[in-house]
Amino acid sequence: MSERAGDAPSEAPEAATVMGLPEWTVLAVISEQPTHGFAVAQLTTPDGELGRVWQIPRPVIYRAIGRLAEAGLIVPRGTEPGQGPQRTIYAATGSGTDAVRDWLATPVEHVRDIRSHLLLKLALLHRRGSDASGLIRQQRAALEPIARAIGSDSPQDSFETVLLAWRRANATAAITFLDEIL
């Protein structure tokens, strides 16, 4: 089941702006090769290559392009005719390419972001033909102390017990998943 994009917290340590998952996705696709917003939007539809992991509505794609251009991470490189208005082709700047490289190599901070952020990073690395084993190892190393901390907590009320069990199960499942794909 795919999720829809909203505003997500930034993960890259050196990013020029605070960016959400839509901006990172658009920047990553544009950094692969210059393209236009409609092509990115097609990738993030429910049937699109990236939409299987994370769906981003077309208006969100175009807002992300505007933010990325304002931040100097992408620049227009020409136009391409289409069935509607001409499509502006964007290319990543050097700082945009550097930001994506760093973001793709950075493990996610929270177990809850494995489903969206990490899977999308893995899909983008796959599209690039890049080896994801370094990210997977780093992600596992980042999750181990979280799982240990969750396992050592002793809640005081019944709902805390339920919440802790949920967090523990998710952390354990995430580590198992990473072991399986490594």
Cα–Cα distance between 123 and 143 in angstroms, integer? 20
Dihedral (CA of 77, 98, 178, 6) sign: negative
Predicted pLDDT of residue 139: 97
Class of domain 3-130: mainly alpha
For the ranges 4-18, 84-98, 125-139, the lowest mean pLDDT is seen at 4-18
* Torsion region of 177: left, alpha or beta (phi above 0 gives left; psi -120 to 50 gives alpha): alpha
Do residues 143 and 174 make contact, with C-beta atoms less than 8 angstroms apart?
Answer: yes
Do residues 146 and 172 make contact, with C-beta atoms less than 8 angstroms apart?
Answer: no
Going by pLDDT thresholds of 50, 70 and 90, the confidence category of residue 64 is: very high
Encode pLDDT of 26-48 as tens digits.
999 999 999 999 999 999 999 99
Encode pLDDT of 92-151 as tens digits.
999 999 999 999 999 999 999 999 999 999 999 999 999 999 999 999 999 999 888 887
